[in-house]
Amino acid sequence: MKYLVLDVGGSAIKYALMNDELKMLEKGKVPTPKDSLESFKTAIKDLYDQYKDQVDGIAMSLPGLINKQTRKMQVPGALLYNQDAYILEELQSVTTKKFTIENDAKCAALCEVTYGSLKGCDVGAVCIIGSGIGGGITIGDKVFTGTHGFAGEFSYLSDDWTKINGFDGKWGSDSSALRLVKMIGQAVGKEGIEGPEAFEYCNQGNEKALAALKEFCGTLAMGLFNIQAAVDPEKIAIGGGISQQPILHEYIQKSLDEIYEKMPIPIPRVQIVPCAYFNDSNLIGALANYKKTFNIE
Q: Are 99 and 8 in contact (CB under 8 A)?
A: no
3-state secondary structure at position 221: helix
Each domain of the chain, given as residue ranges in start order, spans 2-103+289-293, 117-274
pLDDT computed for residue 167 by the predictor: 87
Nearest to 34 by CA among 13, 15, 11, 14: 11
Q: Could you tell me the pTM of the whole model?
A: 0.91
Task: Write out pLDDT tens, residues 1-29.
Answer: 999 999 999 899 999 999 999 999 999 99
* Domain 2-103+289-293: CATH superfamily, name plus number: ATPase, nucleotide binding domain (3.30.420.40)
pLDDT computed for residue 131 by the predictor: 87
Query: CA separation (Å) from 100 to 79, 126, 191, 254, 283?
Result: 18, 21, 42, 40, 12
* Top-tier CATH class for 117-274: alpha beta
- What are the strands, taking DSSP E only, across the chain? 2-8, 12-19, 24-31, 58-62, 65-66, 73-75, 99-103, 123-129, 133-139, 142-144, 235-239, 271-274
Task: Write out pLDDT tens, residues 196-234.
Answer: 999 999 999 999 999 999 999 999 999 999 999 999 999
